[in-house]
Structure 1
Amino acid sequence: MIEQLIQAATAIVVAIVVSTLFYVGSNFILDRFLTSDHIPDDEGRQRRDAIREGIRPWVFIGPALLILGFYLVFPVFKTLQLSFFGRFGDDFVGFSNYAWAFNDPGFRTSIRNNILWLIFVPAMSTGFGLLIAYLTDRIWWGQIARSLIFLPMAISFVGASVIWKFVYDYRGSGDQIGILNAFIVSLGFEPQNWISMLFANNFFLMAILIWIQTGFAMVLLGAAIRGVPEDTIEAANMEGATEWQMLTKIVIPQIMGTIVVVWTTITVLVLKVYDIVAAMTNGQWETEVLANLMYRWILNDGGRSSAIAVIIMISVIPLMWWNVRQARQEHN
C-alpha cells in the first residue's frame, strides 16, 4: 500500500513539473521567436502579435486535444471498424453482427429495459428534483434539506448499489436484515426476493439511479427557479394563485429550457447505465441493459460487443446534439 501511494504521489509530482515546464517553455519560445520588437512598422508588429496570440491558445489546449483524440475519437472509429468483423476481429462479416443483435432475445430484452429506464428515470428524477427545489426554496431549513438530498451524488454507482443491496436484501425464512423486507415482515406479510421478481425488479434498480440523480436535477432546477423574477411571483400571490398554479403556470414555463437540459442529460446517462445493473444483478432475472450486455459479450465476441457499442453510441448522439443545442439557446 505504501509503495502504491509513493508511486501515485511521484506520478502526480512528475505530471505537474512536466506540465509547468511545457507551458513555461512554450510561452518562452513563442515570445522569443515570434517577437515583434525588431519590426519597424506598426502594421507589421500588429500582424506578428496577432499571429503569436493566435497560436498561444492552441499551445495550451493542444496536449488535451491530442489526448482526447487518442483516447476518445480513435476508439470510436476502431469500434465501428470492429463491429463489421468477426469474433477475433480478423474476418470481415459485414452487417452480420447487427443482424444478430436485433434477432437475439437477450438484446431485445435489453432494448425493452433501456426503454423503461429512459421513460421513468429522467421523468422521475427531473420531477422529484423540480418539486423538491421549489418546496425547499420556501422553507427556512431548505438548505439543509437540499444538502441531504444532494449527498447521494457524492456516492459512486457501485457504492450506491451496495447500499441498496441492504435495502432489498432477502434471507429466506430467517431474520431479515433488508430494510424493505424488515418493514414488510413488521406489517405481517411474507418477505420477498425483490431483485429476482421479474419485470418489477427493473423498477427496483431504477430507484437507485433516481435516488442519485434527483439531487443533480434539484441543484440545477433550484438555480433556475431562483432566477425567476420576483415581481411575477408577487403578482401571482396578489391575484390569489395557489402554490400549484404558481409552479405550473409561472415557474415551469420560465425554466422550461433548464428542465429540458436536465432531462436530456439524465437521458444520456441512462443510455450508458452499467454499474448499477452489474453490481445488483449482472443482468440476471431479465434486468439486462445494453451497456451490461456489451460488456459481457466483449469477453466472448469482440465483433458483437462492438456492434452493441455502436448502437448505444448512435442512440446517444441525437440526445447529445439536442442537449448542446438547448444549452446554446439558453446561453444566447
Structure 2
Amino acid sequence: MIEQIVGAILTVLIGVAGCVVYFWGTNWLLDRFLATNQSMTGEVVTRRDYLRSQVRPWLFLAPALVFLTVYLIYPVFETARLSLFDSQGINFVGFSNYLWAFRDSTFLQSVFNNIIWLLIVPAASTFFGLVIAVLADRLWWGNIAKSLIFMPMAISFVGASVIWKFIYDYRGPGQEQIGLLNAIVTGFGLPPQAWITIPFWNSIFLMVILIWIQTGFAMVILSAALRGIPEETLEAARIDGANDFQIFYGIMIPQIWGTIVVVWTTITITVLKVFDIVLAMTNGQWDTQVLANLMFDWMFRGSDFGRGSTIAVIIMLAVTPIMVWNIRRANAEEGTR
C-alpha cells in the first residue's frame, strides 16, 4: 500500500517537473531563436515578435495535440481499418464484417436492447431530474435532498452495479433471501424471483441503475437552469391566476427547453456507450447484451479484431450525429446571446 502511494506521488512529481521543464525549455528556445537586438531593422523586429506570438500558443497546445493524436485520432482510423480485415487483422475482407453484423442474431438483439435503453433511460433520467429540481427548491431541506440524489454520480458504474446486485440478489429455494427486492416480495407472501434472469424485464432492471446515477446529473443542470428564470415572469403568471401546474408546463419548461435537450442528448451519448453495468450485472447473458459489451466480447474474448472493430465503428457512427447536433445547438445558442 505504501509503495503504491509513494509511486503515485513520484509519478505526480515527475509529471509536474516534466511539464515545467518542457514549457520553460520550449519558451527559452523560442526566445533564443527569434531573439531581437538593436542592430535589426524595425521590420525584422516586428516580424520576429509576430512569429513568437504565433508560435508560443502552439507550444502549449503541442502536448495535448500529441496525446489527442495518439490516443484518439489514430485509434479511430486504426479501428476503421481493422473492421475491413479478418479476425487477425491480416487479410482484407472488405465489408464482410458489416454484412455479418446485420445478419447476426446476437448483434440484432444488442441493437434492440440499445434502442430500448435509448428510449427509456434519457427520458426517465431527465424527467425525474426535472421534477426533483422543481420540488427541491420548495423544501427547506432541498439542498440536502439534492446532495443525496447527486451522490450516485460519485460512484463508478461498476460500484453502482455491485450495490444494485445486492438489491436484485436471488438465492435458491429454501435459502434465506438477502436481496432487498426479494425481501419486499416475500414480505407480501409472494415467491422470490431471479430478477436479472427474466428476459426483457432484466434489461429494465439494469436501466434503473443508470437512471439512478444520471438523475443526479440531470437534476443539477436543470436546477441551475430553473434558477435562471426571471422571478418577475413567475410572479406575473401567479397574478394572472395561473396555478403551479400551468406555471410548470407553460412557463418553466419552455424557458429551459434548450437545457432539457442538452441534458437529454448528453445522457443519450452515455447510454449508447453503456458497458460497465451490463458487464458487472449479467455479462450480457439472458438477452441483456448491448453493443459495447458485444464489442468487448469479440475484441478481447473472441480475439476477433475484425468483428470487434466493426461493432466499435457502428457505435461511433451512432454517437457522432448526436454529438454534432449537440455541438451545433450549443454554438447556435452562444451566437444568440
> What value does the CA root-mean-square deviation take over the aligned residues?
1.4
1:328 to partner: Cα distance: 1.3
TM-score, with length taken from structure 1: 0.96
Give me the whole-angstrom Cα distance separating, in 2, the residues matched to 1:248 and 1:45.
63
Structure 1 residues 141 and 88, CA gap change in structure 2 (3 angstroms): same
Structure 1: tracts of 5 or more residues without a match: none
CA shift at 1:13, angstroms? 1.0
Query: What is the TM-score with the length of structure 2 in the denominator?
Result: 0.95
The CA distance in 1 between the partners of 2:39 and 2:77, in whole Å, is 47
Distance 1:228 1:156 in 2: 33
- AA in 2 matched with 1:321: V
Counterpart CA distance in 2 for 1:310 and 1:304 is 10
Give the C-alpha shift of residue 303 in structure 1: 0.5
Alpha-carbon distance between aligned partners in 2 of 1:127 and 1:112, rounded to the nearest angstrom: 23
- Indicate the residue corresponding to 2:195 in structure 1: 194
Assess, with a 3 A threshold, how the Cα gap between structure 1 residues 138 and 32 changes in structure 2: closer, same or farther: farther
User: Using a 3 Å threshold, how does the CA distance of structure 1 residues 26 and 141 change in structure 2: closer, same or farther?
Assistant: same
Deviations 1:208-232 (A, max 9, x none): 0000000111111111111111111
1:85 corresponds to: 85
> Is 1:19 aligned to residue 22 of structure 2?
no
2:316 is the alignment partner of 1:313: yes
For residue 207 of structure 1, report the CA deviation from its aligned partner. 0.3
Long gaps (5+) in structure 2: none
**CA shift for structure 1 position 36:** 4.6
Q: Note the 1:88-103 alignment, pairs <5 A.
A: 88-103=88-103
Aligned counterpart, 1:59: 59
Query: 1:260 corresponds to which letter in structure 2?
Result: V
User: 1:239, 1:34 → 2: CA distance?
Assistant: 69
Deviation at 1:312, TM superposition (A): 0.3
Query: Which residue identity does 1:306 align to in structure 2?
Result: S
Within 5 Å, give how 1:164-179 maps onto structure 2.
164-173=164-173, 174-179=175-180
Q: Percent identity?
A: 58
Shift of residue 56 of structure 1?
A: 1.4
Compute the displacement of 1:44 (Å). Answer: 4.9
Q: Pick closer, same or farther for the CA change 1:46–1:243 going to 2, 3 Å.
A: farther
Decide which of 314, 317, 325 is 1:322's aligned counterpart. 325
SS at match of 1:134: helix
Preserved contact between residue 39 and residue 45 of structure 1 (Cα < 8 Å): no
Residue 140 in structure 1 maps to residue 108 in structure 2: no
Give runs of aligned pairs for residues 114-153 of structure 1, distance below 5 A: 114-153=114-153
Deviation per CA, 1:224-274, whole angstroms, max 9, x where unpaired? Answer: 111111111111111121222111111111111111111111111100000
Tell me, yes or no, if the aligned pair for 1:169 and 1:179 is still in contact at 8 Å.
yes
Matching of residue 302 in structure 1 with residue 302 in structure 2: no
Q: Distance in 2 between matches of 1:39 and 1:203?
A: 77
Show the counterpart of 2:259.
Answer: 258
- Please identify, of 236-245 and 271-280, the stretch whose mean Cα deviation from structure 2 is larger: 236-245
Structure 1's 77 and 239: CA in aligned 2 closer, same or farther, altered over 3 A?
same
Report the Cα distance in structure 2 between the residues aligned to 1:329 and 1:163, rounded to whole angstroms.
41
Deviations 1:108-140 (A, max 9, x none): 100000000000000001111111111112222
Matches within 5 A, 1:229-240: 229-240=230-241
Report deviation, 1:41: 5.9
Residue 235 and residue 39 in structure 1: after superposition, are their counterparts in 2 closer, same or farther (change >3 A)?
farther
- The DSSP-based 3-state class of the residue aligned with 1:103 is coil
